[in-house]
Amino acid sequence: MSDPHTADLRAAASRLWWFVVLRAVVAIVFGILVLAWPDLSLRALLFVFGFFAVIDGIVAILAGFGIGAEVASRGWAFLEGALSLVAGLVALLWPGVTALALLWVIAVWAVLVGAVELFAAFRLRGRDRGWGWTALAGALYVLLGILLMVWPVSGILSLLWLLGVGSIVWGIAVLVLAFVVRGDVKRLAA
pLDDT tens by residue, 145-190:
898 899 888 888 888 888 889 889 988 988 888 888 778 777 777 7
Based on the structure, what is the number of domains in the chain? 1
| pLDDT tens digits along 36-94 | 998 888 888 889 888 988 999 998 888 878 755 455 567 788 888 899 899 889 989 98
Is the pLDDT confidence value at 135 over 70? Answer: yes
The CA distance from 58 to 65, in Å, is: 11
Nearest to 117 by CA among 94, 84, 143, 98: 143
Answer left, alpha or beta for residue 166, where phi above 0 means left and psi between -120 and 50 means alpha: alpha
**Are the beta carbons of 175 and 24 closer than 8 angstroms?**
yes
pTM for the model stands at 0.60
- Residue 170 domain boundaries: 4-189
Is residue 31 exposed (0-12), middle (13-18) or buried (19+ Cβ within 10 Å)?
buried
